[in-house]
Amino acid sequence: MWCPIVGGMGRKRIWIMLAALGALYMIGRRERREARHPVEYEMDEPVIAETWTGVAGRPIMRPLWQMVARRATQGGVFPRVLDVGSGAGFLAVELAQRPGVETVAGVDLSSDMVEIARGLAEMRGANATFYQVDAASMPFDDAAFDLAVSTLSLHHWRHPMPVLQEVYRLLSPGGRLMVFDLRRDANPLVLGLAAVSARFFMPGPIREMGEPLASFQSAYTPSELTLMAAQAGFQQPEVKSGIFWQVLVASKPA
Ligand SMILES: C[S@@+](CC[C@H](N)C(=O)[O-])C[C@H]1O[C@@H](n2cnc3c(N)ncnc32)[C@H](O)[C@@H]1O
């Protein structure tokens, strides 16, 4: 039977496409790591702030920040919000505009990121304040926040347990934690694509960092993340995952 898509593409092209997908899959399987391999570069380099702001600030990324802000605040009232590893501040400013949110604090290791985030909050008129600190030791009182969020930062934390324990300390009883990140055990096709991009298609500085593959290899699996959240004291940690991402939602006992 003649199919317009297959017929229109021609058999040769279909074979080339299948071969390319097969090759990507094999590369992805080879690059998939059993054990975590932390990224080797330092996060507070100015080039990282510049590069990441370029990625995170693309119009195509805004629906992601809006979706995370909406889901993080769903079904509860969270006046005081903490964004851990807030980067250029795109999520923090979306959160500041959610109903019921009164203040947002963003913390980040990188002074360049913090400067960029402050500029963004000012430009958008958002009530978000940014601090240059290590998330393993944050300058806030116990129970200072009702909600803590973090996106694409967890896999960069040198010591994740102290950060999770610190977030636990900072949340009020019944407070919520939501963490969005990559997963190390992503689908091999995605890992293959990340490996080929890292080698051939990324601009100079990103290629030198080995990104985006390095971040996948530095990420946790959903079961590792669930275990870490439980060990930090969080109740009913639940991770939902897709082919390359995962979202943890957990709460501090009331
Ligand atoms: C890939 S960026 C993501 C930024 C932002 N959350 C976003 O989704 O656009 C990772 C951020 O985590 C920050 N970071 C890494 N380790 C950190 C730590 N221990 N404490 C605070 N921030 C950290 C980095 O400086 C960087 O800005």
In a domain, residue 6? The reply is no
Q: Give the CATH number for residue 233.
A: 3.40.50.150
Give the span between the Cα atoms of 130 and 94, in whole angstroms: 14
Mutate to test the pocket of ligand 1, among 43, 82, 84, 209 (most ligand atoms within 8 A of CB): 43
Q: How far is the CA of 87 from the centre of ligand 1 (A)?
A: 5
In a domain, residue 241? The reply is yes
In a domain, residue 8? The reply is no
The reply to whether ligand 1 has any atom less than 6 angstroms from the CB of 82 is no
In a domain, residue 21? The reply is no
Q: DSSP letter at 38?
A: -
Give the structural domain span for 145.
Answer: 46-184+219-251
Contacting residues for 30 by C-beta, under 8 A, at least 6 apart: none
Tokens of 249: 């939602």
In a domain, residue 214? The reply is no
Q: How far is the CA of 55 from the centre of ligand 1 (A)?
A: 14
In 3D space, the residue among 224, 249, 221 whose CA is nearest the CA of residue 235 turns out to be: 249
**In what helix (H) or strand (E) does residue 103 lie, and over which residues does it extend?**
strand 103-108
Question: Whose C-alpha lies nearest to ligand 1, atom 13?
Answer: 85
The reply to whether ligand 1 has any atom less than 6 angstroms from the CB of 85 is yes
Give the span between the Cα atoms of 222 and 242, in whole angstroms: 10
State how beta strands 80-84 and 145-151 pair. parallel
> What pLDDT does 206 receive?
82
- Give yes or no for a contact between 149 and 68, defined as CB atoms under 8 angstroms apart: yes
Give the span between the Cα atoms of 143 and 121, in whole angstroms: 24
Give the span between the Cα atoms of 111 and 88, in whole angstroms: 10
Give the span between the Cα atoms of 163 and 158, in whole angstroms: 9
- Give yes or no for a contact between 155 and 142, defined as CB atoms under 8 angstroms apart: no
In a domain, residue 195? The reply is no
Give the span between the Cα atoms of 148 and 78, in whole angstroms: 10
In a domain, residue 17? The reply is no
Q: How far is CA 68 from CA 21, 64, 228, 236, in A?
A: 31, 6, 21, 20
The reply to whether ligand 1 has any atom less than 6 angstroms from the CB of 245 is no
The reply to whether ligand 1 has any atom less than 6 angstroms from the CB of 157 is yes
Residues of the chain with pLDDT under 70: 1-9
Give per-residue pLDDT as tens, 70-122: 999 999 999 999 999 999 999 999 999 999 999 999 999 999 999 999 999 99
- Domains in the chain, number: 1
In a domain, residue 190? The reply is no
Q: How far is the CA of 164 from the centre of ligand 1 (A)?
A: 14
The reply to whether ligand 1 has any atom less than 6 angstroms from the CB of 109 is yes
Q: How far is CA 6 from CA 23, 24, 248, in A?
A: 21, 21, 40
Tokens of 41: 């570069």
In this prediction the pTM is: 0.93
The reply to whether ligand 1 has any atom less than 6 angstroms from the CB of 53 is no
Looking from the CA of residue 135, the nearest atom of ligand 1 is 20
The reply to whether ligand 1 has any atom less than 6 angstroms from the CB of 108 is yes
Mutate to test the pocket of ligand 1, among 108, 116, 164, 182 (most ligand atoms within 8 A of CB): 108
CA 69 and chain centroid, separation: 13
> What pLDDT does 2 receive?
54
> What pLDDT does 110 receive?
95
